[in-house]
Chains A and B, each alone.
Chain A
Amino acid sequence: MPSLKPASDDQMLWRSLDELEGSPRVRDWVEREFVSYVPEEMRSPNRRQFLKLAGASAALAGLTGCRWPREEILPHSRLPDNRIPGEPVLFATSMERNGCGIGVLATSVDGRPIKLDGNDLHPLSLGKSDVFMQAAVLDLYDPDRSKSPISKLARQAANAAGGWAEFDAYAGPLFEKVRAAKGAGCLILSEVSDSPLMADMRKRVADALPEAKFVEWSPLSSVGVSAGTASAFGEPMRPMADLSRADVIVSIDRDFLAYGPTAIRYAADFAKRRKPVDGKISRLYMADAGLSLTGAIADLRLKVKPSQLAGFVCGLIAALRDAGVAIDAWASDAGSALADAAKSAPHADAIKQIAKDIAEHRGHAVLMAGAHLPAPIHAAVAAINAAIAGDLVTYFADPRKGRSIGAEALASAAAQLSSGSVQTLIILGGNPAFDAPAELKLADAIAKAPNSIHLSEYDNETSRLCTWHCNRAHLLEAWGATRAFDGTVSIVQPLIAPLYEGRTPAELISALLGERGMSSYSLTRRALGDVGGTAVVDDVSWNRALHDGVFAPGGKGEKPSARGGSWCGELCGLATGAKAEGFEIAFRPDYRINAGEWANNPWLQELPEPLTKLTWDNAALIAPSDASRLNVRNGAMIRIEQGGTNITLPIFILPGQVAGLITLLMGYGRSAAGVVGDEIGFNVYPLRRAESLWSATGAKVSATGAKHQLVTAQDHHMMESDVGKAQTQKRLPELVREYRIEEYNDDPTGAHHVVHLPTLQSLWQDPQYGPHRWAMAIDLGGCIGCNACVVACQAENNIPVVGKQEVEMGREMHWLRIDRYFRGENPEEARVAFQPVMCQHCELAPCESVCPVAATVHDSEGLNVMVYNRCIGTRYCSNNCPFKVRRFNWFFNHHGPQHPRSLKQGTVGFPNWKQPSLTPQKLLNDIQKMQHNPDVTVRSRGVMEKCTFCIQRISKEKIRAKNEWVGADSATRGETYHIADGTITTACQDACPTSAIHFGDLGDPKSAVSQLRKDPRSYALLAQLNVKPRVEYLARVTNPGPLGGQPKLHGSHGGHSGGAHGEGAGGHDSDTHAASQPASAH
């Protein structure tokens, strides 16, 4: 991050530039320089235009870097201070997701933002990120982004071009009329946003256009928490738990590690308690309706249907009362109803144990409920937490109080539209025509409005219904502000000039209000002036806020006192009223494209779904028992009928799925997402209804007999065959090691006894490395399988996307993959094991000895490096790699022949001697290339590639450290340069929300990685091959408690049928097992 200190220098520089600008000669020159600037050029720039563009964007980023909010594009007549060409600069900004903000640190190289990471000063990111934050930068350069406003008429005429000038000419008089009518007949349908900027705009709309209606909708917004807390406390509140201090966590279908605005923070806090400290770790119970990532790593996962969740909570309340936990707010008159409701609770024994556990850990136990659950459950959870959570749960004011949000509000808006009383419809972002509940028939309703305007980054399904579509600025292109879940306010600052002159929602509203000349900057500044009561934000604090990425902290939260309410009866009603007929359906946002808004992002489309490993598709997830009952296999098409509508989509048999439940992944089946996202997967929204957004009962399922090709990045039938399955279960304990906390306490080195290694000796003197020996330690206890590392690696290392058919061929390019295995012989009760695998940088690397041209070699620091220029592509290295982490460029892979862009948009093709290809292939355009990390080679066809441990980051830091050392005082600088532990981080490490990945120098005995390798949990994958990997894994420790059965101390050896191991607890020294076989079977 650029330092704040040289601010005075900046001012000097810009003062002088100001003076320059003041002179008419310079002004004239500046104007002439850009007189020919047309955004048209940026759609398909040639080299010259590209350079102009790059220069211009560099200049603008320079301006923001200097905190200079001017929006003219100026070339560097003199290079600003503190700017070195090619040197990345970090800027703090923030992004909004489903209305809540999260802090972002954007890396910009010469004015091109190339990577987004979490902002460590932001309380909800803590410097960590998730897949969406990592992938967002690709959208900026997406060629499918909408590039100019376009009207319906122009669309029909096909040749008529739209543009902002035309739009303004249309909108000016229209907005004039709206203002004259005080907003009557005007409906603003916005995506949900807690941003203070939008709050300000909403207030202004309410003041100036009192008759206008402002409705917010997002397919994932839910009013359950607000209503539930309002029922429990009298005020809608936002609960936030401190998981870093929780001993017992009970999650009622809350996928808190992977989903929701607090996921990154929760994951980070949760992981802190998963490393044994004083022989203890936290315990996570999960009542899982479906199989979620949180459920996948829970210590004890209870399979519950959505309709049983209320009963589960009732049962828990009853059990807690029996266990002596008094829940103050519980109305005594609900006693008998509760007893009845509790009877319907599934997993009665487990609930008793959970209640006992909670009672024992009172003050350190937390209950959480999924945001999608109905209000009474949230009220109950609030009441229970008041009794059990001590000060772990704090509450923040709910900024959504009093706003029209959610399905009900949307339904009334739809009714208004249908009645024809809306003259002017303004849709800000989102895609309601696609993702609104089907029975509202919103698409038809929108078409009824005589004037409709949709502001969106993409010309999507909704845009096509509107009179005008306007292109929206990307979050890296314009100013704005966000409010995080805990109230933290951050500024969104642009890093690049809008590539296509996009505007922000605030700007559009400003135009509606008739404000003149308000840019996103001035609007943001104006809105933030009101935050925290200070009327004006002075430049110093503004600059500090920009630098830190936090404008106003969210405060500590409060602990309101619960009061009794009507929720108890409602909860019992929910529990007893649940109908159990037919299949139940649960709707789940997709872990890759969320509700569909990321559908055109190829990184996310090719990302294997963490649990199914599906790529480029969605499916209905059903339990193995249901599949065999329906007599269907993976990929079979089924028809789901519910509430009079039906959809047809393929099934995926997911081990561990709740029987009788079908989980539908939302967001797929887009028809106007863009070239990448169109016609991929199946739209499940038609089954979604306003009154039950998240689950439904009574669905009828029938197989259609048709098949669909589902492509997974793992799990081929070899793994699925009987031989393969048995083998998988045999090897799994050895590969992904885990043991229970009791076993750990009994013998921390237990993870080593899974496999008994012979004495591993080399036939020769092993090479010595120094002074650095880079290495990695990965804590499997921390890995939640969220994929953030995978996308981070892709963004950092210019890793191409290959397309569905190529994934089907087994040719995905990810350098880092997350292996997902199902543990257990019974697929119904399968547990999930995650293991991130990248190049292990073996010291005795088997890839190196077989390369005939020495293209993969060891460097002096023990890194296994790949020399792309030397590689001729024999692929022998890949064959000999036991971890299969090498990736080969079968084609020119940046838009290779199976990339959707190549498939749908034609070809460069033959003859093209520069990149000859007989298969259709579209090349990256210059704007797409701007995303590439300039420090990493873009690999050509025919070469092997693999994880480098982010060698570019290592080199950069070494160069910096050496330069510093050379420049330092020779008397005090020490014998050699020094790189502090933690200065070099890999991209995956940066992204990992749970800090499961550690990178560092084994040459430094104090480094975290050196320490972790001494941890008794640390083991090397396939150590019996004696390849001496530089990556080691820390075995996962679980804590299922008494419900997990008896811990079988030392009984987890691969291939054991139990009890056959005749060795005692102590004295397990690998050398003593020299006589044993090298693999696990003995």
Chain B
Amino acid sequence: MATIPLMEVDNTWDDPRKRAPLVTGNHDYKSVTDLVADVAERPHPPMAWYALFAVSLGLLGFLGFCIGYLLLTGVGVWGVNQPVAWGFAIINFVFWVGIGHAGTLISAILFLFRQNWRTAINRFAEAMTIFAVVCAGMFPGIHIGRVWLAYWLFPIPNQMAMWPQFRSPLLWDVFAVGTYFTVSLLFWYVGLIPDIATFRDRATNKIKQGIYGFFALGWNGSTRHWHRYERAYLILAALSTPLVLSVHSVVSFDFAVSQLPGWHTTILPPYFVAGAIFSGFGMVLTLAIPARELFGLKEIITLRHLDNMNKIILATGTMVGYAYSMEFFIAWYSGVEVERFTFISRAMGPYAAAYWTMFICNAFVPQIFWFKWARTNIPLMFVVSLLVNLGMWFERYVIVVTSLSSDFLMSSWWPYRATWVDYGMLIGSFGLFFTLFLLFCRFLPIVAIAEVKAVMPRPHSLGHGHGHSHGHGAAHRAEAH
């Protein structure tokens, strides 16, 4: 399938008289189902999948090794130290939570705003969210000094008659991330049900049928089912929407509520949310571009989708850039010497390289998306998406490390140097993420089949009046079977 060369169809026009198609190619409902289901049903995934999976699994194994070493030895194996008591673990946590924002934003907020183009990307964006939050959730768990007591963070009735301390932002984190994960998972799963049922119905052996059947919850596509499904989906979308804003706001409270110069700023919640969406879309792009190539989904995840996402990256990147500048202004305007120094030292001190990496990647690089040629240039946008990920990781690094390493008393200033375990766990967390993602690609519908059909032209008009698409000579899927 994927071997058939597909020409990129430009559906990114802005002519208001003509609605741009969200699915290109001469697709009907069946061919869409075939196309998506084929990813999971073909006997062997592409070689690239195997290669990627092997690498990811290797990294995951390394992560496991690092965690084992950490747990048996102590958090001293990291580079954390006295003023800089938080290091890569928290940086990675915030980074992954941020990534986890795009999925729910695409699924929930865009759903509520009736942005139909979301349908092509929402499924795997949501999956990405779940997996990112899994990666994120791991870090606070293992970063504490006595991991075996991590459950004390949860409000579990216990013989000590102790509750957690509700004033601590870390506890808010537990609630915020926990809720977010739960709701995202539910939302994702509910959306999956009709498609899992499709897989069940197409299953070629008993085992697959049984497993898909179990998760399809007896879906039979009746109108009653559809009705309840739509309701449930809408409600979950409504529930998820505030969460998109709340999670990263709460994560930002870890910093904003403390009194450390550089952390103690009111701009952090909106700044974090914008950054999270920014990095989330960056990651969606990073995943979507190879995935559509690899699994032949260019007609569902079209150039227009990518174009739209680039616009969001441009918007949020600009917001983030504004936040960076505003931080500087406020630090100067506040007149607080330590605050001023924190920002001057960010830009000119020992961590200037990290700071400027962040600034350039996040605030400057996305500006290229003001140009349409850039928004539709796939290699370019892939590079940009990688830089966005890089920049956003450095943003967290800058926030966590620079503020901690030089605060109020000069005598306590001390640098932070990551150890191999730090780097190992950062890379390993990508292993975890990609392992989960590749498994998802292999076994679950990576595009919301049912929803995509809803944004396709109605069946009676199939084959008529779609000369535009035909004109581009896209291959006929039916023939390919």
Contact = CB atoms under 8 A, between A and B. Distances in A.
Q: Do A and B bind each other?
A: yes
B345 A723 contact: yes
B81 A942 contact: no
A522 interface: no
B145 A875 contact: yes
A891 B74 contact: yes
Interface in B185-204: none
B257 A850 contact: yes
B132 interface: no
B245 interface: no
B160 to A, nearest CB: 8
B45 interface: no
Contacts of A717: 350, 415
A878 B90 CA distance: 14
A965 interface: no
B337 A880 contact: no
Nearest to A713: B411
A1081 B348 CA distance: 20
A955 to B, nearest CB: 22
B219 interface: no
A1022 B408 contact: yes
A876 B85 CA distance: 7
A692 interface: no
A817 B337 contact: no
Interface in B328-356: 334-341, 344-345, 348-350
Interface string A925-969: 000000000000000011110000000000000000000000000
A853 B165 contact: yes
B411 A919 contact: no
A941 B409 contact: no
A890 B406 contact: no
B252 to A, nearest CB: 14
A810 B414 contact: yes
For B71, B149, B335, B414, the residue with the greatest tally of chain A CB atoms inside 10 Å of its CB is B414
Contacts of A879: 85-86, 258, 260, 404
Contact of A872 (B85, B144, B259, B337): B144
A716 B414 contact: yes
Contacts of B407: 882, 884
What DSSP secondary structure best describes chain A's contact surface?
loop
Contacts of A809: 79, 81, 417
B76 A731 contact: no
A722 B134 CA distance: 43
A875 B80 contact: yes
A852 interface: yes
Interface stretch (A165-173, A327-335, A910-918, A1061-1069): A910-918
A1049 interface: no
A745 interface: no
Given A719-B413, A875-B145, A882-B407, A918 B73 contact: yes
B48 interface: no
A716 B349 CA distance: 12
Interface in A809-834: 809-812, 817, 819-821
A875 B86 contact: yes
For A735, A870, A874, the residue with the greatest tally of chain B CB atoms inside 10 Å of its CB is A874
Interface string B53-82: 000000000000000010111111101111
Interface in B385-427: 404-415, 417
B480 interface: no
Contacts of B405: 718
Given A819-B411, A880-B260, A1081-B337, A849 B76 contact: no
A79 interface: no
B98 interface: no
B168 A837 contact: no
B74 A849 contact: no
Contacts of A1079: 335-339
Interface string B408-450: 1111111101000000000000000000000000000000000
B210 interface: no
Interface string B79-110: 11111111000000000000000000000000
Interface string A677-689: 0000000000000
A721 B82 CA distance: 20
A811 B81 contact: yes
A1078 B337 CA distance: 9
B75 A942 contact: yes
A854 B165 contact: yes
B170 interface: yes
Nearest to A878: B85
A755 to B, nearest CB: 10
Contacts of B147: 942
Contacts of A730: 337
Contact of B345 (A724, A882, A897, A1021): A724
B225 interface: no
B315 to A, nearest CB: 32
A843 to B, nearest CB: 15
A811 B82 contact: yes
A641 B415 CA distance: 36
Contacts of A817: 411
Contacts of A918: 69, 72-73
A916 B72 contact: yes
A888 B340 CA distance: 29
A716 B254 CA distance: 27
Interface in A674-732: 714, 716-719, 721, 723-724, 727-728, 730-732
A347 interface: no
A718 B260 contact: no
A718 B415 contact: yes
A721 B74 contact: no
A884 B82 contact: yes
B153 interface: yes
Contact of A810 (B82, B335, B350): B82
A960 to B, nearest CB: 30
A55 interface: no
B162 interface: yes
Contacts of B412: 883-884
A852 B81 contact: no
Interface in A254-278: none
B150 interface: yes
A650 B411 CA distance: 23
A374 B69 CA distance: 60
Given A891-B74, A941-B145, A724 B413 contact: yes
Interface string A118-152: 00000000000000000000000000000000000
B164 interface: yes
B168 A890 contact: no
Contact of B169 (A806, A850, A873, A1081): A850
A1077 interface: yes
B73 A891 contact: yes
A810 B85 CA distance: 10
A724 to B, nearest CB: 7
A1025 B408 CA distance: 10
B406 A849 contact: no
A1082 interface: yes
11 contacts: A716-B413, A724-B406, A810-B83, A850-B168, A850-B170, A853-B152, A872-B149, A889-B145, A918-B72, A918-B73, A1080-B337
Interface of B: 69, 71-77, 79-86, 143-147, 149-150, 152-153, 162-165, 167-171, 174, 254, 257-260, 334-341, 344-345, 348-350, 404-415, 417
The list of the 6 closest CB pairs from A to B, nearest first, reads A873-B145, A942-B145, A890-B76, A810-B81, A875-B85, A884-B412
Given A918-B69, A918-B73, 10 more contacts: A724-B345, A806-B76, A850-B170, A873-B144, A891-B73, A910-B72, A918-B72, A919-B73, A1022-B409, A1077-B336
Interface of A: 714, 716-719, 721, 723-724, 727-728, 730-732, 735, 806, 809-812, 817, 819-821, 835, 837, 846, 849-854, 870-876, 878-880, 882-884, 887-892, 896-897, 910, 916-919, 941-944, 1021-1022, 1025, 1054-1055, 1077-1082
